[in-house]
Amino acid sequence: MIPRYLVDVDLDAIPHVHTDVIVIGAGIAGLFTSLRASENKKVLMITKKSLLDSNTRYAQGGIAAVISDEDSPEYHMQDTLVAGAGLCSPEAVDVLVHEGFSGVQDLIRMGTQFDLENGEFALTKEGAHSQRRILHAHGDATGAEIVRALSERTKQDPNIEIWDDHFVIDLITQDDICYGALVQKPDGQRVFVRGNATILCAGGAGQLFRYTTNPDIATADGIAIAHRAGAHIQDVEFIQFHPTALCYPGAPRFLISEAVRGEGAYLRNIKGERFMENYHPQLELAPRDVVARAIVDEMENCKSTFVYIDITHETEELIKHRFPTIYEYCLNYGLDMTTDWIPVAPAAHYMMGGVKTDLHGETDVKRLFACGEVSSTGVHGANRLASNSLSEAIVFGRRIIERIKELPALEGSPELRTDSPRIESPQQAVVEKKLKLQKVMLRYAGLKRSAKGLQKGYEELARQLSIFDTQMSKREDYEFANLLSCALLTTTAALQREESRGGHYREDFPERDDLHWKKHIVFKRGEDRVEEWI
């Protein structure tokens, strides 16, 4: 049983801090919403590491927006809906495609420098996009450039206070109203941070899996704390595995951007054969879920642990100019993109679902908002269209701040004191528990799933529920508890969805079933699963 709070709480016995807006997380969503909110509000930004530690910093490909005369919001919307496999919210996608470029202009005003060609934005094309609409920076370092620009402004903003190395344990709620958060400081002291509005920008859940392109901070914290607080959690069975992560002895699973295929790279099996023509008419530019499963099929057929991505037919000048970060990274391991085929394999990359919000980023817990990967706005459906995530963060971040401007002052104070019987922490190291969880998820809830495997995986995960009966005091304990919470939600939803769609593939139900499953699976703590039809 997952408790309402991870630790015992007595609000009267701990320090209180007051602010207008609490922002939890430091990726593009956290930085952007903090800067927009600070125009007329006091903001407290809480990060569990630093402003430079987030998934955004590792985003290579770029940000999608309608810019060129050949493109249109209608084209962008159609591409997004097709990739989303029938589960996108048309209203949310309409917002994204019409407000995306305006959000990009905000980023530029905040100091982001996108690549130019002949004085115009240099646009590229990625998988499942019908037009060139991807802006990028420094070739393949778009996320790093956005984080650089926004973090510099954030540190200089007098209305933003930054708490690095602080961990949000739980949200404090009463009568379905969010009053703020219980936060643990680096010295172990706990404090109640009260805010007129709280924005979850806590990122994704890539650390659910053994192999991931995500940094070690992506431990599903936002989804788990929102779930404990009573917010709806939607579509968490849909996990996007990036098709091409570096797979080389001694090297981490480093992302080889989709833009490499967008610029003409081929996929080859270990026999050297191109194979995507056997799987999809768009070849290497097929939707990510299709490409990822095709790679796994080729690996299984050839009894290999990788395939190759080959861009050696392009010029050395283009490769080094367009992909300087990837080129230098591979070179560190003795791989030269200009002459070598690069070994790659799929790795967990992005969760399409998350904390359910409306079109202004608000959850069903009043005064609690969610933005970025932690949220489920309805934009991504069952499969995210490449480079839509950065656009989503700024578009819905702007909408969140507009909604917060309308909020009256928060009245009253929550009365909270819990004293649950909890035992000492288990002797088994949390790192061992985390590794076991990741292996279970990779084996039973990865790219290919079945009822038998998912049931077995759920049962193995459920044996770890005793963690919630222990006294927790360390960040590692909280992170594992959050990962376990999200893993149980993900396996439950995947077991219940008896079809294949987008980032969810069932070997025992390999076909898409719109008649029975064109709907969301939504969870709320203390209630049975809710199904919401499209």
Using pLDDT thresholds of 50, 70 and 90, give the confidence band for residue 422: confident
Confidence (pLDDT) at 528: 67
Confidence (pLDDT) at 487: 98
How many CB atoms are located within 10 Å of the residue 411 CB? 6
Instruction: State the residue for tokens 């529920």.
Output: 465
Confidence (pLDDT) at 162: 97
Phi-psi group of 90: left, alpha or beta (phi > 0 → left; psi -120 to 50 → alpha; rest → beta): alpha
Confidence (pLDDT) at 153: 97
Q: pLDDT: is 173 or 252 the higher one? A: 173
Using pLDDT thresholds of 50, 70 and 90, give the confidence band for residue 283: very high
Instruction: State the residue for tokens 């077991």.
Output: 495
Phi-psi group of 488: left, alpha or beta (phi > 0 → left; psi -120 to 50 → alpha; rest → beta): alpha
Average pLDDT in the 375-380 region? 98
Average pLDDT in the 111-135 region? 91
How many CB atoms are located within 10 Å of the residue 418 CB? 12
For residue 252, the SS3 value is coil
- What is the DSSP secondary-structure string of 379-418? SSTTSPPTTHHHHHHHHHHHHHHHHHHTPPPP-S----B-
Name the active-site residue from 253, 288, 384, 399: 288
Residue 90: both structure tokens together: 């048309």
Using pLDDT thresholds of 50, 70 and 90, give the confidence band for residue 428: low
For residue 176, the SS3 value is coil
288 catalytic residue (yes or no): yes
Average pLDDT in the 118-122 region? 92
Each residue's pLDDT tens digit, 50-71: 887 776 777 777 999 999 999 9
Instruction: State the residue for tokens 């609690």.
Output: 368
Q: CB of 208 within 8 A of CB of 486?
A: yes
Has residue 122 got a pLDDT over 70?
A: yes
Average pLDDT in the 490-513 region? 97
Average pLDDT in the 229-234 region? 97
Beta bridge partners of 180: 172, 194
Confidence (pLDDT) at 176: 96
CA distances for 478 relative to 67, 304, 374, angstroms: 43, 37, 17
Residue 57's nearest CA partner among 164, 288, 217 is: 217
Each residue's pLDDT tens digit, 317-372: 999 999 999 999 999 999 999 999 999 999 999 999 999 999 999 999 999 999 99
C-alpha 356/C-alpha 200 separation (Å) is 12
* Max CA separation in the chain (angstroms): 68
Average pLDDT in the 233-255 region? 94
Confidence (pLDDT) at 526: 82
Q: CB of 473 within 8 A of CB of 242?
A: no
List the beta strands (DSSP E) in 175-226.
Answer: 177-184, 190-200
Confidence (pLDDT) at 51: 80
Helix runs in 124-257, H state only = 142-156, 221-229
C-alpha 443/C-alpha 26 separation (Å) is 31
C-alpha 523/C-alpha 233 separation (Å) is 5
Confidence (pLDDT) at 84: 94
Task: Output Rg (C-alpha) for the chain, integer angstroms.
Answer: 22
Average pLDDT in the 365-393 region? 96
Each residue's pLDDT tens digit, 466-484: 999 999 999 999 999 999 9
Confidence (pLDDT) at 426: 61
Using pLDDT thresholds of 50, 70 and 90, give the confidence band for residue 427: low
Average pLDDT in the 301-313 region? 97
**Burial degree of 417 (CB within 10 A; 0-12, 13-18, 19+):** exposed
Residue 365: both structure tokens together: 């817990």
Q: CB of 353 within 8 A of CB of 65?
A: no
Confidence (pLDDT) at 288: 80
C-alpha 32/C-alpha 36 separation (Å) is 6
SS (H, E, C) 414-481: CCCECCCCCECCCCCCHHHHHHHHHHHHHHHCCCCECHHHHHHHHHHHHCCHHHHHECCCCHHHHHHH
Indicate the average pLDDT of the chain: 94
C-alpha 145/C-alpha 117 separation (Å) is 17
How many CB atoms are located within 10 Å of the residue 534 CB? 14
Amino acid at 493: A
C-alpha 446/C-alpha 379 separation (Å) is 22
pTM above 0.75, yes or no: yes
For residue 232, the SS3 value is coil
Helix runs in 8-63, H state only = 28-37
C-alpha 524/C-alpha 507 separation (Å) is 28
Half-sphere exposure of 408 toward its Cβ, with a 13 Å CA cutoff? 2
Going along the chain from its start, the domains and CATH numbers come out as 11-238+352-406 (3.50.50.60), 251-347 (3.90.700.10), 423-510 (1.20.58.100)
C-alpha 134/C-alpha 122 separation (Å) is 8
Amino acid at 214: N
Length of the chain: 534
Which residues neighbour 388 within 8 Å (Cβ) at sequence distance 6 or greater?
A: 64, 80, 96, 379, 380
Average pLDDT in the 30-49 region? 97
Average pLDDT in the 79-95 region? 96
**Residue percentage of the chain with pLDDT more than 90:** 87
Has residue 262 got a pLDDT over 90?
A: no
Q: What are phi and psi of 328, to 5 degrees?
A: -65, -40
Confidence (pLDDT) at 67: 95
Lowest-confidence pick of 260-264, 287-291, 374-378, 485-489: 287-291
Angle at 77 between CA 73 and CA 81, to 5 degrees: 175
Confidence (pLDDT) at 290: 87
CA 172 to chain centroid, in Å, comes to 24
Confidence (pLDDT) at 533: 80
Each residue's pLDDT tens digit, 169-214: 999 999 999 999 999 999 999 999 999 999 999 999 999 999 999 9
Q: What is the DSSP letter of 363?
A: -
